[in-house]
Structure 1
Amino acid sequence: MELLVLLNALGTRLLFVLHSLLGVWRVTEVKKEPKYWLLALLNLLLGLEAVLTLKFKQGRGYKWFSPAIFLYLISIVPSLWLLEIHPEKQGCCNESNQLLQNINEINEQSANYEITDNHLIEKALELVNTLSAVSYQVWTLGLHQTFLLLLIIGRWLLPIGGEITRDQLSQLLLMFVGTAADILEFTSETLDIENVRKKHAVVYAILAVWTWSMLQFPLDLAVQHVECSPSVSSKQVFRLLLCRHSADLWNIGISLFIQDGPFLVVRLILIGYFDVITQMLVFFTAKNILIVLLQLYRLVVLSLDFHASLRYQSSSRKGGVGCCPCEPNNLSLPPSSCDMDERDCASIALEDPVTSEHL
C-alpha cells in the first residue's frame, strides 16, 4: 500500500472524527448533561469502515458511493440537530448580553489567576476561555460552515478508486462547492426567521429537508457514466437512455428530488401557508423555481435528442448498410452519414467486380 494513500485515508477520517467530537462537546456544554457524550460512539462506525477499507480496498474509494462521507454524516448530523432545536436557540436576542457577561467573568478570572513563569500558558488559557464564551448562535453557525467545508475537503483528500478519474473528481468537487453554498443559505436563511423559530414543526421539517439534502454528498453518480452492455437493444428505451446519459440524468434527479425541489416546496409553504415573507426568502424561492425549470428543460432536450437518434438509427437500418455515394442503396441516408469519399469508392470498385459494373 502506498504511504500517501495510507496517510490520506487515515488523516481524512481523523479530521471527520475530531469535528464530530467537537460537535458532541458543544452539545454536552449546552445541554449540561454528560449522557450526550454517548453520541461519540457513532465514530466507531467510521473506525470500522477505515479498517475494512484498508484491508479490502487498500485505502482507496468505492464505485459510486463513499462510505466514509456517509458515516461522517451519521456522526455529526445528530449533534447539529440537537443544537438547532435547543431552546436557547430561540432566545437569540439575549446572546449579546450573555456574551458580555461571559467575557467580564473571564476577565475577572484572568485577573485573579497569577502566572509569572510561563506567559504562553496564560495566553492559551485565555484563548480557551474566550472560545467557551462565544455565543451559542455563532458556535452553531460555525459548526455548519466547517461541516460543509470538511465534506468538500475530505472528499478531495480521500484516495480515489479506479472507477473515478481525476477529471471527474474535479467536476464533483466543483458541484459540491455550489451545493454546499445553497444548503448553507437554506439553513441560515430560513431558520433565522423569527416566525419560523416559534413553530417547532416547521423547524423539524426544515431540518429533515436539510438532512435529506446531505445524502447527495456520498454519491458520485452525477459524474460517472454507465457503460452500455452489448445486450441492450434499441427496444429497451429506458435502459438505453440511462446508459447513454446516466451522469446528466443523475444530476437532474439529484437537483429535482434531493436539493432544489425540496427546498422550493419548503419555501413555498413558508410563503403561502405560514405567510412568512422576507426579501431573501422571495429571492431564493425565485432562484429555486428557475433551477427547477432549467433542469426540466434539460430533461426535455435530452429526451428529444435521444428519440431523434433512435429514429435516425432505425431509418439507417431500413436504408441499407451502404455508405458510399456510388452505391444506389444509400439514397435514404443523409449526406452527413457517409464517411467514405470517392477514392474509397474507387478502391471498393477495384476489389469488387460487381460494384465496378455499377460504376
Structure 2
Amino acid sequence: MTALFSKNCRYVKFFMLNVKAILARLLFATHGLVTIWRVSDVCDKKIFLLLCLPLGLLVIEMVVTTFYTKNGEWKWFCPSVFLYLASVIPGIWLLHMDLYQQRETYRITHGLEQCQPMMMFNETTLGGNQGISIPLLLPSDEWACGLQQIMFVLLIVGRWLLPKGQLSRDQLSQLLITHLGIAADSLEFSLETLDIGEVYCNMNLISAVLTIWTWSMLQFTLVRWSVSKGQQHGQPRGDDRPAKPTRRYDGCCGSEIWFLVLTVLLQDAPFLTMRLYLMLKYQVVNQMMLFFVVKNVLVICIQFYRVIILLCCPVQYYDTSIAMVGVDHEDQNVALVDVHHDVRQSRTLSLTLSNNKVMDLTYRLSMVEDS
C-alpha cells in the first residue's frame, strides 16, 4: 500500500512539474507574440517570421529539456529564457528605433534644428494596421515601455514556474530575489538613460544604451552560478564524537565568486561606464545621474571586497552530528551513521520506507568552538 501511494505521488509530482513548465513557456510565447505583433505594425512585415523563429524553437526546447534532463531543467543554463529573450529583445530594439525615426520625421517636418525630447506620440492600437486590432490605445513610447516592463515580470514569474532542476527550494528563492534586483536595475538603466535629452535624439547613444542593456539581460539565462552551494556533507563516521568546525576553500571557481565577478562584468561595470561617458562627454550631470554613479562605484567596490574575503578567508562550517538509527523489524539490526552539514536546530522524525523499515532520525547539533 505504501509503495503504491509513493508511486502515485511520483506521478502527480511529474504531472504538476510538466504543467508548470508548459505554463511558463506559454507565458513566454504569448508575450513574445504580442511584442512581434506590435513590431509588425511599425516595421516591415517580413520581420514577423524572423522573430517567431525563437518561439518555434521553444517547443523543441521543451521536449528536449523534459525528456533529456533528470529534473526537468538544465544545471547552469536556461535555454527557454534564452529563446524568450531572443524573440522579445530584438522587437524592443526595433520599437526604440521606430521612436527615433518618428522624432527625426517630426524635426524635419517642422524645420527644427534638434528633435524635441518632450514630443507627444500618436496613440495606436495593437494590430491596427492589419485589420485585426485589440482595443488597447497607447502612445508609441508607452508600447515600448510597457512591453519591456512586462518582460521583466514574466522573467521572474516564469523562473518561479519552471522546474527547479538541481536547485533546492532555498536556492530557488535566492535566485528569484537575485533576478528581482537585476530586473529593477536593468529597467531603471534603460528607461532613465533613454529619456535623457542627449540620448533621446542620438542614434549612436540609443544603440549603445540598448547594447549594454541587452548584455545585462544575459544574467537571466544563467542559473547555478547565481546561488550559493547546497549543504556540504562529510564522510560517515562510526562513532558519535562531536565534530570540530571545518573550513572549505572553493578556490577561484566557487559559484559565489563567479556570481560576483559576472555581476560586475555584465551589469555594474557597463552601467557605470555608460553613465560616466554621458557625464564627461555630454555634461549630463543631475541628481539622479550622480546617485546612480555613486551607487555603481559602491557596488563594484563591495563586490570585489567580497571576492577578496572569499579568497583569503575560506568559509567556516560547523558540523552537525546526525545520528541515524535504523531498526529492521526482522533482523533487529542497528546502524549508526553520522552525516555533517549546516543544520541549526534539533529535531526527531520518523520515516516509513518502502521495505517496511522504520527509521528514527535524531538530529543532534554539535558545535565546537574553534581552538
Q: TM-score, normalised by structure 2?
A: 0.68
The answer to whether the Cα contact below 8 Å between 1:49 and 1:67 also exists between their aligned partners in 2 is yes
Structure 1 residue 142: deviation in Å?
Answer: 0.5
Match of residue 263 from structure 1: 271
The answer to whether the Cα contact below 8 Å between 2:171 and 2:228 also exists between their aligned partners in 1 is yes
Match of residue 28 from structure 2: 16
1:95 aligns with 2:120: yes
Q: What SS does the corresponding residue of 1:85 show, helix, strand or coil?
A: helix
Match of residue 296 from structure 2: 288
Counterpart CA distance in 2 for 1:95 and 1:28 is: 22
Deviations 1:244-265 (A, max 9, x none): xx23202211221011111001
Counterpart CA distance in 1 for 2:185 and 2:102 is: 22
**Aligned residues, how many?**
274
Structure 1 residue 40: deviation in Å?
Answer: 1.4
Counterpart CA distance in 1 for 2:62 and 2:214 is: 24
Match of residue 173 from structure 1: 176
Counterpart CA distance in 1 for 2:216 and 2:250 is: 28
Structure 1 residue 217: deviation in Å?
Answer: 0.7
Counterpart CA distance in 2 for 1:276 and 1:337 is: 54
Counterpart CA distance in 2 for 1:93 and 1:29 is: 23
The answer to whether the Cα contact below 8 Å between 1:24 and 1:40 also exists between their aligned partners in 2 is yes
1:252 aligns with 2:263: no
Counterpart CA distance in 1 for 2:70 and 2:34 is: 29
Code of the residue aligned with 1:253 in structure 2: it is V
1:84 alignment partner, one of 89, 92, 96: 96
User: Which structure has greater helix proportion?
Assistant: 1
Match of residue 251 from structure 2: 241
1:145 alignment partner, one of 142, 145, 149: 149
The answer to whether the Cα contact below 8 Å between 1:260 and 1:292 also exists between their aligned partners in 2 is yes
Structure 1 residue 41: deviation in Å?
Answer: 2.2
Counterpart CA distance in 2 for 1:187 and 1:61 is: 30
Counterpart CA distance in 1 for 2:142 and 2:310 is: 45
Q: What SS does the corresponding residue of 1:211 show, helix, strand or coil?
A: helix
User: Structure 1: 5+ residue runs without aligned partners?
Assistant: 107-124, 231-238, 310-334, 339-359
User: Which structure has greater strand proportion?
Assistant: 2
Counterpart CA distance in 2 for 1:240 and 1:128 is: 54
Structure 1 residue 128: deviation in Å?
Answer: 3.1
Counterpart CA distance in 2 for 1:6 and 1:227 is: 27
Counterpart CA distance in 2 for 1:248 and 1:58 is: 24
Counterpart CA distance in 2 for 1:260 and 1:280 is: 16
Structure 1 residue 67: deviation in Å?
Answer: 1.1
Code of the residue aligned with 1:179 in structure 2: it is I
Query: How much is the aligned-residue C-alpha RMSD, in angstroms?
Result: 2.8
Q: What SS does the corresponding residue of 2:75 show, helix, strand or coil?
A: coil
Structure 1 residue 297: deviation in Å?
Answer: 1.6
Code of the residue aligned with 2:182 in structure 1: it is T
The answer to whether the Cα contact below 8 Å between 2:66 and 2:73 also exists between their aligned partners in 1 is no
Q: TM-score, normalised by structure 1?
A: 0.70
**Greater Rg, structure 1 or structure 2?**
1
Bigger shift: residues 211-220 or 275-284: 275-284
Q: Percent identity?
A: 38
Q: Residues 55 and 187 from structure 1, CA distance in 2 versus in 1: closer, same or farther, beyond 3 angstroms?
A: same
1:207 aligns with 2:215: no
User: Structure 2: 5+ residue runs without aligned partners?
Assistant: 1-10, 107-116, 235-248, 317-367
Counterpart CA distance in 1 for 2:269 and 2:277 is: 13
Counterpart CA distance in 2 for 1:269 and 1:158 is: 39
1:68 aligns with 2:93: no
Match of residue 300 from structure 1: 308
Code of the residue aligned with 1:71 in structure 2: it is L
The answer to whether the Cα contact below 8 Å between 1:189 and 1:281 also exists between their aligned partners in 2 is no
1:44 aligns with 2:56: yes
Counterpart CA distance in 1 for 2:283 and 2:77 is: 40
2:39 alignment partner, one of 11, 27, 34: 27
